[in-house]
Amino acid sequence: MATERPGVGSPREVPILRVENLAISYETRYGEVTAVRDVSFEIGRGETLGIVGESGCGKSTVAFGIVNFLGRNGRIVSGRILFQGQDLVGRSERELRRLRGDRIAMVYQDPMQALNPSLRIGDQMAEVLIVHRRMKKDEAEERCIRMLERVYMPDPANVMRRYPHQLSGGQQQRVVIAMALLNDPALLIMDEPSTALDVTVEAAVLDLINDLQEEFDTAIMYISHNLGVIARVSDKVAVMYAGEVVERAAAEEIFLHPSHPYTLGLMRCVPRLGMEKASSYLHPIRGRVPPPNRLPPGCVFEPRCDFARPECAERRPPLKRLTDGHWVRCFFADEVASKGQEALAARWRKEATVHEPQREPTETILTVQDARVYYSVPARRLFSREKPVVKAVDGVSFHVPKQRTLGIVGESGCGKSTLVRAIIGLEKLSGGGMEFMGFDISVPVSKRDLDLIRNIQMVFQNPDATLNPSFTVGFQIARPLRRFRAVPKDRVKDEVIRLLNLMKLDASYYDRLPRQLSGGEKQRVAIARAIAARPELVLCDEPVSALDVSVQAAVLNLLLEVQRELGTTMLFIAHDLSVVRFFCDDIAVMYLGQIVEIGPAEAIYAPPYHPYTEALLSAVPIPDPTAEQRQIRLSGSVPSALNPPSGCRFHTRCPRREWLPDGGRICEVEPPPWQADTEEHRILCHIPLEQLRRMEAVVSEEVRDAG
C-alpha cells in the first residue's frame, strides 16, 4: 500500500465502491422474489454514505450483496459491484473470502449476537490477523490491544481475556468495530451498529465512528433507519424504499431540499427535538411498505404518496438528476422539492395550534409518594448470608394532574418500566405509597377493586407481543368491555366496531387474527383494548419505539386524539427524547431508580438542566446536519442497581462534578437535595441552581426556517 493516494474528492479518483444497477433476488416458496433492484451509488475514500429507510426496504440486502453473502437462496441477478475498480459479481467464494474481513469489513446490529459466546474476545479478534496476515499469535494479540485502545476501550489487555457476555453492550460494539478495523479495510459496512444501544452509548459510538473515519480514511457505508443518526455520520445519503434507491444526494442537500415524497414523508413524520404537540403536528405516511412479492406496478411509493397522479401507477419513474449529485426517482421531483419546503416549515408554525394546552391547574389524579420496588436476587457467592437487593425503583415521588401527560425518560435499567408496572399493580411496592383518585393503590392488582382496575389500563411496547395470537381482534377488544361490564352484552360488538373506527380501522378487522395485522395496526388494536372500558389513566410503555417511523406518527396522533376526546390522563414512557418532548406536558427524568429532574416539558429541555438531562439531550441524534448541538458525553456505563453508587447516584459519570469545590467530594458522600427552579420544575443535584442556570442550551433554540 505504498502507492500515492490522490486527495479526497479528486474527480479522477476511482471510488472505493461503485454499485451499478444492482438487483438481488431470493428464492422463496412463492417463487423468486426480487428484493433489491436498480440500486446504484458510489462511495469514495474517506466518505460516508448513509443508507436510510424503513425496515423491509432492502438496506441490509444491499450490504450483504456487496460481499455476496446472501445465503443459499439469495443471488445477484444483475448489476455490477466495483470494489476499487474490480467487479465483485461472479467472483469465486475463495476470492471473496480474501476480501472479507480484510479489505471489506462489516459491523452490524446487536453486537452480543455478532460475537461468538464461547470464545474469548482476544481469540476472536486475533484470528482476523492470523488468517489474513499470517501473523504470529502474540504479535496479532499485541496489535489487537493497540486497536482496542484506539476505540477508547478501557483496560484492553484485560478485555482480550474476557468472553462477550462479560462486556456491556457499548463495549461489545467497540470490540466489533475494532475487529473490523484491524486490517485497515478500504470499505467498512455498518448495518445499524448503534440501534440496539442506549442513547448515551449510541452517541459515544457515533463519535467514535466519526473519529475513526478521520483517522483511517476508510470508505463507510452506514445503514440506519434513524434520520438523526444518518445526519450525524453521513457525507452522502441514499434513501431506500421497497428495494429501490428513491433519492440520493449529499447529506445537507437531502435534509434541506428533500425531493422525493418518501424522503419528505420520513422527515415530516418524526418529531424534531423541541417540537411539541401544542404547536405542531406529525404527518404519518399512510399504508405500509409493500412486501417484495407484491410491489405496485408503477412507482413503488405510489400507493402511499400524497403527490401521486394517475401516471405514477402506470409507469416506473426513472432516476432523475435534479442538481449535481442529487438524483431522485420521481416524476414530480421539482414540485415535491418546492412544496416540501413549505411542508417542512409548516410543522414549525407556532401559531398553528393543533392541541389546546392544558395549562389551568386541575385536580391531581395520581400521587406517588416515595415509592420503592426492591427485588431480592439469588446470592452470587455460595455462602453469603445477605441476599443482594436490586433497588429498581428507590424513593420516587410525583403527582399527575388530571388530563395531563407525564413523560418518563431514562436509559434502559433506570426503573421506568418497573415504576409503571407498580402503578398498575403488577409489581409489589416495597415501600412508600400511591394514591389514585383518592384510593390507595399501593396493593397489587389482585387486591384491587374492579372499578379501580378498570380505571388504570396500559399500552405495551412490543406490537408482536401485545395481542394474544390465538384470538381475533374483536374478541380481544371485547374482553375488557365484558369483564368490566362497560356496555350491555348485546351492544358489545357495536362498541368494539366503534372503537376500531376510532382507531381508523374498519369493521373488517373484527374477525382478523393478530398475525394478519401490521405492527402499527396491532398497536392500534392494543390502544383500543386499553381505552375500551374508558379508563381514567392510561400507562404507555414505549408504545411507538418498536414501530417504523412512518407508522409511529400515526400511532402518536391517535393517542393524542384519544386523550383529547376522552380526557384521559397518561403516563408515557419512552427513551426517545424528541417523542417525549412532543407528546408530554410534564417530564420526569429517571436515573438508576430515582427521578433526578421533573417539571413541565419546556423547562426540562432548557437550562437549568440536571447534568444527566444535559447529557441525554446532547446525545439525541438530530435529523439535521446543520443543527448545532453541544457534545457532552458520559464516561462508563450505567452502574448496577444491585450496588448503586453512594451519595448522588450519578456521581460516577457526572461531567459537571468539577464545578463543585473539591472536585465534587460531596457528591460521593451526601445524597443531593431537591432544588426548585420554579414551583413545578425541580432538580436533584448538589450544584447550586444559579450555576445550573448559567448552562448553555444543548441544542440551539434558533429554528431554521425553510427558504
Partner 1 sequence: METEKKSRLRKFWESISIVLRSPTAAVGLAIVLFWVFVAIFAPLLAPHDPLAQDASAINQGPSPTYPLGTDNLGRDILSRLIYGSRVILILAPVSVLASVIVGTVLGLVGGYFGGIVDEIVMRILDAVMAFPTILLYLIIIAAIGPSPLNVVLAITFVGAPGIARLVRGLTLDIRTRDYIRAAEARGESALYIMFVEILPNARGPLIIDALLRVGYAIFAIGTLGFLGLGLPPPTPDWGGMISEARKYIWTNPLGVLWPALAIASLVVGLNLFADGLREETMRYQ
Partner 2 sequence: MARYILRRLGFMLLTMFLVSIAVFLISEVAPGDVARHILGQFATPEQVELLRDQMGLDEPLYVRYFDWLIGNDWRLRRLVGMPLKQVLIPGRADAEWYAIAPDGTMLQWKMKQEGLVEIRVTPDGERTEVLFDGWLVDENGEEYFWGVDTAGHVVLWKKGEAGREVGPASAGRAMIEASGVEYYPIRRGLLRGDPGISFRTNRPVGPTLARRLRNSLSLAGIAFVVIMPIALVLGVLAGLREGSPLDRTISLFSLITTSVPEFASGVFLILVFAFWLKVLPGAAVFPDDTAPLQNPKLLILPVLTLTLVEVGYVARMTRASMAEVMNAPYIRTAFLKGLPYWRIVFKHALRNALIAPITVIMLHVNWLVGGIVVVESVFGYPGLGMYLLDSALFKDINAIEAGAMVMVALAVGSQLVADIIYTFLNPRIRYT
Which residues form the interface with partner 1 (CB under 8 A)?
29, 421, 424-426, 445-446, 448, 450, 453, 456-458, 460-462, 465-471, 476, 479-480, 483-484, 511, 526, 529-530
Q: Applying CB under 8 A, which of residues 5, 27, 30, 69 lies at the interface with partner 2?
A: 69
Distance, CA of 409 to chain centre: 13
Q: Mind giving me the DSSP string for 627-660?
A: --B------S-PPPTTSPPSSSTTTTT-TTGGGS
Q: For the purposes of burial, counting CB atoms within 10 Å of the CB of 679, is it exposed (0-12), middle (13-18) or buried (19 or more)?
A: exposed
Q: Cα–Cα distance between 461 and 46 in angstroms, integer?
A: 39
Q: Cα–Cα distance between 69 and 188 in angstroms, integer?
A: 15
* Residue 466 touches which member of partner 1, partner 2, none, C-beta under 5-8 Å by kind: partner 1
Q: Cα–Cα distance between 213 and 206 in angstroms, integer?
A: 11
Is residue 179 close enough to count as binding partner 2 by CB under 8 A? yes
Rg (CA), the chain: 27
Asked if residues 473 and 532 have their Cβ atoms less than 8 Å apart, the reply is no
Beta strands 537-541 and 104-108, pairing class: unpaired
Q: Applying CB under 8 A, which of residues 132, 286, 498, 630 lies at the interface with partner 2?
A: 132
Q: Pattern of binders to partner 2 over 81-120, x per CB under 8 A?
A: ----------------xxxxxx--xx-x-x--xxxxxxx-
Query: Please, which residue, 529 or 653, has the CB nearer to partner 1?
Result: 529
Minimal distance, residue 233 CB to partner 2, in Å: 21
Secondary structure letter of residue 317 according to DSSP: P
Place of cell 389482585: 446
Query: Please, which residue, 234 or 461, has the CB nearer to partner 1?
Result: 461
Minimal distance, residue 394 CB to partner 1, in Å: 23
Residue 519: all three cell numbers together:
405492527
Q: Cα–Cα distance between 536 and 436 in angstroms, integer?
A: 10
Query: Please, which residue, 164 or 593, has the CB nearer to partner 2?
Result: 164
Minimal distance, residue 609 CB to partner 1, in Å: 33
Minimal distance, residue 29 CB to partner 1, in Å: 8
Residues 377-406 that bind partner 2 (CB under 8 A): 380-382
Residue 238: all three cell numbers together:
441514499
Query: Please, which residue, 231 or 420, has the CB nearer to partner 1?
Result: 420
* Residue 108 touches which member of partner 1, partner 2, none, C-beta under 5-8 Å by kind: partner 2
Asked if residues 546 and 561 have their Cβ atoms less than 8 Å apart, the reply is no
* Residue 509 touches which member of partner 1, partner 2, none, C-beta under 5-8 Å by kind: none
Residue 558: all three cell numbers together:
391517535
Query: Please, which residue, 223 or 589, has the CB nearer to partner 2?
Result: 223
Query: Please, which residue, 107 or 299, has the CB nearer to partner 2?
Result: 107
Secondary structure letter of residue 43 according to DSSP: E
Q: Reduced to 3 states, what is the DSSP secondary structure of residue 211?
A: helix
Q: Pattern of binders to partner 2 over 148-167, x per CB under 8 A?
A: --------------xx-xx-
Minimal distance, residue 462 CB to partner 1, in Å: 6
Query: Please, which residue, 335 or 511, has the CB nearer to partner 1?
Result: 511
* Residue 157 touches which member of partner 2, partner 1, none, C-beta under 5-8 Å by kind: none
Distances, alpha carbon 192 to alpha carbons 106, 113, 189, 288, 532, in Å: 11, 13, 10, 21, 37
Q: For the purposes of burial, counting CB atoms within 10 Å of the CB of 378, is it exposed (0-12), middle (13-18) or buried (19 or more)?
A: exposed
Task: Measure the CA angle with vertex 118, ends 112 and 122; round to 5°.
Answer: 80
Q: Cα–Cα distance between 597 and 604 in angstroms, integer?
A: 8
What residue type is 603 in one-letter code? Answer: A
Query: Please, which residue, 112 or 566, has the CB nearer to partner 2?
Result: 112
* Residue 558 touches which member of partner 2, partner 1, none, C-beta under 5-8 Å by kind: none
* Residue 512 touches which member of partner 1, partner 2, none, C-beta under 5-8 Å by kind: none
Query: Please, which residue, 167 or 622, has the CB nearer to partner 2?
Result: 167
Query: Please, which residue, 100 or 479, has the CB nearer to partner 2?
Result: 100
* Residue 471 touches which member of partner 2, partner 1, none, C-beta under 5-8 Å by kind: partner 1
Residue count of the chain: 707
Residues lying near partner 2 in the complex (CB under 8 A): 67, 69, 72, 97-102, 105-106, 108, 110, 113-119, 127-128, 131-132, 162-163, 165-166, 176, 179, 380-382
